[in-house]
């Protein structure tokens, strides 16, 4: 009996030592990566791997390839809390990815129902950071991402974003809220964003995005000097997709958009609707400069074949100036891609001072 207990104790000790060596040594990390590479559906390799399975883990030169995906990660740092696995949670305290290049070839269109995605374990993310990433889908121009940060949690199909920020060369987005990974994929997000246009004042705004793939709605407030409100909604987002939108501006001064542009007051209210193939828009516009005001109506239709100006009418308030025009832009027509027809009276430029035209 005593001998049997000694044997059991020896086996337990050996297993404990082996498990400790596996979890706390770099050799154990190398072994685990080799097993993962053997089970991967494509080619998985790494240039350098340091650390242990309990963290932190540092890797350089990660490459993954399969029939549709090619992924390169220059550097990866991962730290986590293994003890959280006792409550069925993968708790990542730090994940940093640098110099990421992803090329993806999309799969052929399918009529299969939208999939239900779910997390095998609960996930907690304290700090995830991605820097210098480039994404290419099929043959489209690559999208370059300068920086992204994420914190949040997820369980089953539900994902909560505590903080998500994305910065590229031309725009930035920040979001917080909830997403569900099961059809119809409901979302409830608060957004802040900015767009940088060369030579112009940046466009910044905030708002919300709510709904699901059956009906998705958003409201966005643009900050000065582009003061405006956009309300839009879309139906059947994953199917035929139809949408409508309304843009209403405050009084806008072009002189605040770009140095050297003339001071004036512009205003507009535009209503638009369409689907994946075409759109129509109509609304009222106006311009005031040096005490003279022009009010107008506009109707536009656009499709794959081009853009049609169905009507543009401008009239001077308390004056005789007027303009009426129609036109079309058809990029496929090499002989005359653009045509404009109109009538006018008592027009002049500039609106005040010595006329130049």
Distance between CA atoms of residues 200 and 197, nearest Å: 6
Angle at 218 between CA 212 and CA 222, to 5 degrees: 160
Confidence band for 47, pLDDT divided at 50, 70 and 90:
very high
Q: 180 to each of 125, 209, 239, 242, 334, how far by Cα in Å?
A: 17, 14, 19, 22, 48
Looking at residue 336, the DSSP 8-state letter turns out to be: -
Q: Which helix (H) or strand (E) holds 36?
A: helix 26-39
**In the predicted model, is pLDDT for residue 357 greater than 70?**
no
Number of C-alpha atoms within 13 angstroms, CB side, residue 97? 17
Distance between CA atoms of residues 181 and 247, nearest Å: 31
Confidence band for 106, pLDDT divided at 50, 70 and 90:
confident
Confidence band for 135, pLDDT divided at 50, 70 and 90:
confident
Give me 125's structure tokens. Answer: 């993310």
Q: What is the pLDDT of residues 308-332, one digit of tens each?
A: 999 999 999 888 889 899 999 887 6
Distance between CA atoms of residues 243 and 26, nearest Å: 55
Report pLDDT for 17.
Answer: 47
Report pLDDT for 319.
Answer: 83
**In the predicted model, is pLDDT for residue 223 greater than 80?**
yes
Q: What is the pLDDT of residues 178-209, one digit of tens each?
A: 999 999 999 999 999 999 998 999 999 999 99
- Count the Cβ atoms, other than its own, within 10 Å of residue 57: 20
- How large a percentage of the chain has pLDDT more than 90? 60
Report pLDDT for 49.
Answer: 93
> Can you name the residues that pair with 321 across neighbouring β-strands?
none
Confidence band for 210, pLDDT divided at 50, 70 and 90:
very high
Q: Are 302 and 317 in contact (CB under 8 A)?
A: no
**In the predicted model, is pLDDT for residue 355 greater than 60?**
no
Looking at residue 85, the DSSP 8-state letter turns out to be: G
* 306-316 and 322-329 strand pairing: antiparallel
Q: Which helix (H) or strand (E) holds 20?
A: helix 2-24
Cα pseudo-dihedral 72, 78, 83, 89, rounded to 10:
-50
**In the predicted model, is pLDDT for residue 15 greater than 50?**
no
**In the predicted model, is pLDDT for residue 16 greater than 50?**
no
Confidence band for 29, pLDDT divided at 50, 70 and 90:
confident
């Amino acid at each position: 009996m005593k001998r049997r207990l000694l044997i059991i104790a020896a086996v337990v000790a050996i297993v404990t030592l082996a498990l400790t060596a596996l979890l706390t040594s770099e050799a154990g990390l190398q072994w685990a990566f080799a097993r993962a590479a053997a089970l991967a559906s494509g080619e998985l390799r790494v240039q350098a791997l340091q650390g242990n399975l309990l963290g932190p883990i540092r890797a350089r030169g990660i490459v993954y390839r399969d029939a549709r995906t090619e992924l390169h990660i220059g550097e990866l740092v991962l730290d986590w809390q293994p003890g959280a696995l006792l409550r069925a949670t993968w708790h990542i305290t730090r994940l940093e990815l640098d110099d990421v290049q992803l090329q993806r070839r999309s799969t052929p269109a399918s009529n299969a129902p939208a999939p239900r995605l779910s997390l095998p374990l609960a996930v907690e993310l304290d700090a995830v950071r991605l820097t210098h990433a480039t994404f290419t889908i099929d043959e489209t121009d690559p999208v370059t991402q300068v920086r992204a940060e994420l914190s949040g949690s997820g369980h089953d199909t539900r994902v909560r974003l505590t903080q998500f920020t994305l910065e590229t060369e031309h725009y930035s987005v920040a979001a917080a809220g909830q997403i569900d990974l099961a059809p119809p994929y409901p979302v409830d997000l608060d957004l802040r964003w900015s767009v940088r246009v060369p030579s112009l004042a940046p466009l910044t705004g905030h708002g919300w995005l709510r709904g699901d793939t059956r009906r998705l709605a958003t409201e966005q407030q643009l900050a000065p000097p582009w003061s405006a409100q956009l309300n839009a909604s879309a139906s059947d987002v994953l199917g035929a997709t139809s949408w409508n939108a309304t843009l209403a501006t405050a009084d806008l001064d072009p002189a605040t958009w770009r140095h050297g542009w003339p001071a004036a007051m512009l205003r507009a209210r535009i209503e638009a609707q369409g689907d994946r193939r075409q759109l129509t828009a109509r609304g009222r516009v106006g311009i005031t400069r040096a005490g003279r005001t022009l009010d107008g109506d506009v109707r536009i239709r656009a499709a794959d074949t081009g853009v049609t100006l169905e009507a543009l009418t401008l009239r001077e308030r308390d004056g005789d100036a007027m303009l009426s025009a129609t036109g079309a832009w058809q990029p496929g027509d090499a002989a005359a891609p653009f045509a404009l027809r109109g009538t006018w009276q008592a027009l002049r430029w500039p609106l005040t001072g010595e006329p130049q035209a």
